[in-house]
Amino acid sequence: MASLPFSAASFHSTFICFNYKARNPNLFFLKKGSSFTFSRRKFIIKSVASDQRQDLKEEGQITEEASLDTFVPDSASIASSIKYHSEFTPSFAPDHFELPKAFKATAESVRDSLIINWNATYAYYEKINVKQAYYLSMEYLQGRALLNAIGNLELTGAYAEALKKLGNNLEDVAREEPDAALGNGGLGRLASCFLDSLATLNYPAWGYGLRYKYGLFKQYITKDGQEEVAENWLEMGNPWEIVRNDVSYPVKFYGEVISGPEGIKEWVGGEDITAVAYDVPIPGYKTKTTINLRLWSTKVAPEKFDLSAFNAGDHAKAYSAMKNAEKICYILYPGDESLEGKTLRLKQQYTLCSASLQDIIARYERRSGEFLNWEIFPEKVAVQMNDTHPTLCIPELIRILIDVKGLSWEQAWNITQSYINGDLSTRTVAYTNHTVLPEALEKWSLELMEKLLPRHVEIIKMIDEELVQTIIDEYGTEDLDLLQEKLKQMRILDNIELPESVAEMIAKLEKSSVEAIESTEEDDVSDEETEPTAEEDELEEEEIEEKNEVPPIIEPDPKLPKLVRMANLCVAGGYAVNGVAEIHSEIVKNEVFNDFYEMWPEKFQNKTNGVTPRRWIRFCNPDLSKIITKWTGSEDWVVNTEKLVTLRKFADNEDLQSEWREAKRRNKVKVASFLREKTGYIVNPDAMFDVQVKRIHEYKRQLLNIMGIVYRYKKMKEVSHEERKSSFAPRVCIFGGKAFATYVQAKRIVKFITDVGATVNHDPEIGDLLKVVFVPDYNVSVAEMLIPGSELSQHISTAGMEASGTSNMKFAMNGCILIGTLDGANVEIRQEVGEDNFFLFGAEAHEIAGLRKERAEGKFVPDPRFEEVKSYVRSGVFGPYNYEELMGSLEGNEGYGRADYFLVGKDFPSYIECQDKVDEAYRDQKRWTKMSILNTAGSYKFSSDRTIHEYARDIWRIDPVVLP
């Protein structure tokens, strides 16, 4: 974006673009002295480019030694910029400068700087034609952007002062920003942390996602539990996005594939929509690098509007094509219980993949110019699939290369993923696995996919045939039992006949095997010297029948659906596969994709997740950040978290401990005020703040937490007031998280938590010794409030089921002590912070299968304390709601939704005994504070900067590019 040659006479200001080489932003108005009013004025346009330097010198803003490149905007110039946008970038009536308008104008002024830096970043990338990484994700849980952006630009103080001059407070203005509803949980938050780190570390990269109109949903907590309404985050517009109407791509559904001359395939007919780009600049910390998050919105061409039908009164028919296109980007994860829901989800995934791949290829062609060479495409492009949602980018890339660009199958397949001379070379597409849950390893109906994406099914079948041939080459044909087992486990197509060529080959092998057996038997008979007895005859016939048995060709079961296994397609079509924590990556190699790992061990890597220390401590916890800076000697820890280790040598220092406790208490007071505002509950900031905030799911075991609280409450009720005070440390138990709208059991858990809270919080006998609070509509902004004030954080998933977790890292980074199982990143966090500074309980991952088997065999004997809690819940003490289904899920030995699959009952005794240790430790505040300091000191490994360095080095093979 070029600098704008405007002079706003009404403001007596000069509009300047500062294109600097240093660290600071550079597009502002420079105030010349008039007061701010909103009356209408004549807007005079004037070219001032040649006068910029002289004007600045006259105003005393720069000296001979300085330059526009090093100019640091002050609060006056920022205030002028905000005033300009409040009048000339209007989204509100001109009469008042109230908080909503102040936020929009402030954000627009920041965006000006980001656009300048964004353009400079990508102009340089284009100029040097550097290899770039492209991150495809269905979710980006960004949170509020204002404080993060001005913090990264090192302008927090200047903006605070500017807004103060305009009669506003920066924190109040920032609270006006809605959270971008582009994500659900850890998957989306990780993607956003990665973008922050990519920009901060100067790596050339893009993010791609969808621009959801309503996101997931807004959560309300009522007497009936969770209720969902559409999220309205775009209601007042999004000041951070730049619509690129000139960047759009066609996306097709349905239709048919026809063969042209020389075997060229063409996908024709069907439903056509258009994906339009919306760009969101992502600034790095203390760097000019500003990368891009490109979000796609969907629409149709105006001619698709049926004007004749509309004028005839058939309005639904007139705009049906428009609505079909627009609804693709209405909400994140539409319910998929119906065929329509499944179809919409698949449309979403394909739209993301198709638009993004077309954009990536168009930019590659533009950068290449007349020297276009498809063989070096992987040397310029790395595509990372964040989970299985973007899997369709594999067949889509091949489709574009073959059908549109005219490459052969071999060329297109080698560009996507190649296996040459026994070595996997770095190609284009890589895959991050985020889950071991079978339901999250996506499988799509072949029938649905054939209908919606007919050309892609053809390509997937070709990839499947390529994979089958590779498996045969690897394992040979001597052991047909082994071969068919490998094919069954590894094929992309499930319950589908083998490719014709392979089926014929196996049939020939089976026939040869039978003939060889018969020939051997004939030879044996001819060598016999005596006639066999009748008994010997019968026995010989049985032996012959047994020998003649050969493994049957894999035949589809007509009773089962035909499926496309997306995770298998990711592994087969990608050149790298990574898990997101050490224990998770081992499970991926040894269990989830063991057959693939045995064949391609070099494909598999671990990349332990991380979180950005800018948002998750520097900006959200300024009090603690100041203490860390003081005791480590500088602010270097914000980008070099290894510096946090310095805190270990001061962990026993009384001065540090005193400052640490004071900072924690100030944050707790803020949390208490927030809880009162959001829920009406009044809590004591001197009690322990015990927090579990994450997506509501049975494997995350919020149910174990609340059952433990019920046990605690029951024991409190059974003793005297004096015993209560001496035996139990005061606690505020805080929950937050959304249950997916169709996940009935998760919604029952939410209802149960709120019912327990309603009973406990109004019990005068208990008072401040125990409070239970469910925070509605948990999001990034709520997390930024809760995490700095938390003292105990619960990460208590069934071992082996949480891939990594990232909130555990955020809590540890903020000096919160974790209670948890040896699951996901908990394992590594415990290693780094020290075993004595982590509250461990529960079964380990390698025990889980045996424990479930024990349960199925009826050998499990529940702890009496667990049975006591279930009976207490069933007694109706928490209200009239029938919790039989919820309690019943913890009982029985088999059956879907029963038999305590997530081992709540098994781990319950260990959990409540561990909570006793928590109480004991909390009573010794010196010990607790030391544990808190050591958690922050040990969190250094869990910066997303470290994770991104590893992705860049080991998977993408890209290098940092520092702008000149």
Residues recognised as catalytic:
434, 694-695, 700, 806, 810
Q: What phi, psi does 723 have (nearest 5°)?
A: -65, -35
Mapped onto helix, strand or coil, the DSSP state of residue 362 is helix
Strands (E), 776-908: 792-795, 817-820, 839-840
| Owner of token pair 């065999």 | 857
Residue 49 to residues 108, 109, 212: CA-CA distances in angstroms?
22, 20, 40
Parallel, antiparallel or unpaired: strands 290-299 and 271-283: antiparallel
How far is residue 265's CA from residue 409's CA, in Å, rounded to a whole number?
12
DSSP type of residue 331: B
Whole-angstrom CA distances from 26 to 3, 17, 78, 113 are: 10, 6, 10, 6
Give CA separation, 210 vs 197, 213, 249, in Å.
21, 9, 14
- 3-class secondary structure per residue, 418-479: CEECCEECCCCEEEECCCCCHHHCCEEEHHHHHHHCHHHHHHHHHHHHHHHHHHHHHHCCCC
Q: Is there a contact between 145 and 177 (Cβ–Cβ < 8 Å)?
A: yes
Quote the Cα angle for 299-300-305, to 5°. 125
**554 three-state secondary structure:** coil
In sequence order, what DSSP letters do the residues of 338-360 get, joined into one string?
SHHHHHHHHHHHHHHHHHHHHHH
Query: Encoding tokens for residue 636?
Result: 């270097």
Contact yes or no for 296/277 (Cβ under 8 A): yes
Spatial separation of the C-alpha atoms in residues 216 and 740, rounded to whole Å? 9
84, 29 Cβ separation under 8 angstroms? yes
Separation in Å, CA 822 to CA 345, 450, 805, 875, 933:
34, 42, 12, 34, 22
What is the rounded distance in angstroms from the CA atom of residue 626 to the CA atom of residue 618?
9
Residues β-bridged to residue 344: none
Helix 904-923 vs helix 864-874: angle between axes, to the nearest 10 degrees? 100
Residues whose CB is less than 8 angstroms from the CB of residue 528 and which lie 6 or more positions away in sequence, other chains included: none
**Cα distance from N-terminal residue to C-terminal residue, the chain:** 18
- Are 937 and 824 spatial neighbours (Cβ–Cβ below 8 Å)? no
Q: Please report where in the chains the tokens 């209601």 appear, as a residue.
A: 235
Q: Are 355 and 390 in contact (CB under 8 A)?
A: no
Which residues 6+ apart lie within 8 Å of 428 measured at CB? 377, 378, 381, 382, 383, 397, 415, 416, 417, 575
CB atoms within 10 A of CB 562: 17
Q: In whole angstroms, what is the distance from residue 777 CA to residue 738 CA?
A: 7
702 C-beta neighbours (distance < 10 Å), count: 26
Phi (first) and psi of residue 861, to 5 degrees: -115, 110
Measure the CA–CA gap between 383 and 229, rounded to whole angstroms: 35
Q: Are 335 and 362 in contact (CB under 8 A)?
A: no
Taking each continuous run of H as one helix and of E as one strand, the counts in the chain are: 36, 26
Residue 934: enclosing H or E segment and its boundaries? helix 925-938
> H-helix or E-strand containing 689?
strand 688-693
